[in-house]
Amino acid sequence: MESVRVDGRSLTVEAVVAVARGGALVEISPEAMRRVADSRVVVDSSVARSRVVYGVTTGFGKFSDVVIGPHQVEALQRNLILSHSAGVGRPIDEEVVRGIMLLRINALCKGYSGVRPETLMTLVEMLNRRVHPVVPEKGSLGASGDLAPLAHLCAVMIGAGEAFYRGRRMSGMEAMRAAGISPVVLQAKEGLALINGTQAMSAFGCLAVSDAEVLAKTADIAAALSVEALRGIPAAFSERLIGVRPHPGAIRSAANLRRLVQGSGLTSAPGEVRVQDAYALRCAPQVHGASRDAISHVRTVLEIEINSATDNPLIFPDAPEGEDILSGGNFHGEPVALAMDYLGMAVAELANISERRIERLVNPALSGLPAFLVRKGGLNSGFMLVQYTAAALVSENKVLAHPASVDSIPSSANQEDHVSMGTIAARKAVEIAWNTSHVLAAELLTAAQAVEFCDPERLGRGTGAAYEVIRSHVPRLDEDRPMGPDIATAEELVRTGKVLRAVEAAVGPLD
């Protein structure tokens, strides 16, 4: 996608990835701009009549009972942004910051936030001109939304904070001037509208779920290659067998495995080599499938969330007074928090079972192949440490998979007495996906090496394509060499989808 039209209602995970990673430009639909303008009329009218409205003519959180006069409106909104810029840690990656900016734009486009059109367009210009605010990764409780991350993001809009522009870190004011964008002076409600919401956790989530979908398909590829290297039994992937327990993910995974090994001369029939395979091979569709179903659920949650109004209060221009400005809790991150914990666990399981297949490949007692898949073992250690690295990553995933969403620490003098920790859950899911990408890369390398002791020419159509793309970047191991660079090279093939695309070119799109 070269550009994405934002209307507040139809954003997809693919569009988020296109803007965040692909640099696609953003434009706002005329209908969305009309909704934004209509909601602003309600805010301006409320201020003109000194109407008591949370966050418009009052303080925030525990200070919601403190009435703010009209002459203090600008100071109130600016102070909100500055005081809430309290995050710590390394800057969030540029692609995630771009995702956050897009999601905040889309939420404002729904027309329930009460910002001025020019304020919205300032954020659009920043995104399109690649002014990327410095947003520390830690500090969000995920309850009144992602207050700290969004405050750091929006500080640059008012000429405060810091930003990256053309590869250089500088003050927010300097970045805005260099990009030719005028900072805004926030008016009533605008500061609150900009920082209330779940956009940080959702941006992490969109990128993580996109990666997870690639990993799930790549896990099927890696498993299929391991099945062939170990003379596995594809009868376990039978459509008839899987069909009597018809979980959608398992059906899709089994279909992929059948297609990937089609035409193989390396697989075996029950009783030919062994009666049945170990679980890491035989149960691949059931395990991968369960992860697939979880990933699918998370995508559904995110695509609802990224097209939702998540700040507070919300403006309803067509409603009668008394119902036209409503305070509630749409900013609470619990739906995303639970989904991110679920995603982390689902992706961790892809790594768990992959590491077990690696162990079977390198262990001569289980594989029937040379120990650690190298000739002159003892002089050479071969793939011994590849399994170590995979085991370390899997173990780390188990720690990271502990749910963040079950924790809560009250804040704002107990006004905000239950919080979601959704951004912590989302950040953990991203880290688990990174680890899992490396584990699957390790399996692909290990399985490709194992096939060298069989006959690569007898691989199936899909597995053969996977083997060829691996071998075009990483040569077989004849004697010891540093394995870290090989794993890094294979991981890049996994993460960028190069392995997946090569296989799909051979057998068609995987499910």
Instruction: Map out the domains of the chain with their CATH numbers.
Output: 3-197 (1.10.275.10), 205-507 (1.20.200.10)
Residue 367 host element (H or E): helix 364-367
* Per-residue three-class SS string for 61-87: HHHHHCECCHHHHHHHHHHHHHHHCCC
Residue closest to 147 by CA, chosen among 159, 162, 132, 136: 136
Of 493, 226, 211, give the one whose Cα is nearest residue 356.
226
Q: What is the pLDDT of residue 51?
A: 81
The confidence score (pLDDT) of residue 62 equals 67
Cα Dmax for the chain: 87
**CA-to-CA distance for 110 and 193, rounded, in angstroms?**
12
Positions of the chain with pLDDT lower than 70, given as ranges = 61-62, 64
Spatial neighbors of 307 by CB under 8 A, at least 6 apart, are 8, 9, 10, 11, 106, 110
β-pair type (25-28, 3-6): parallel
* 139 SS3 class: coil
The amino acid at residue 454 is C
Main-chain dihedrals φ then ψ at residue 253, nearest 5 degrees: -65, -45
Decide: 442 and 487 in contact? Cβ < 8 Å: yes
Q: Which residues are catalytic?
A: 54
- What tokens does 456 get? 């690569």
Structure tokens at 146: 């992602």
d(CA 184, CA 206): 29
Interacting residues of 354 by C-beta distance below 8 A, sequence separation 6+? 219, 222, 223, 390, 436, 439, 440, 442, 443
The dihedral through the CA atoms of 34, 38, 44, 47 has a sign that is negative
- Measured CA to CA, the distance from residue 443 to residue 459 in angstroms comes to 16
Q: What is the predicted pLDDT for the residue at 47? A: 84
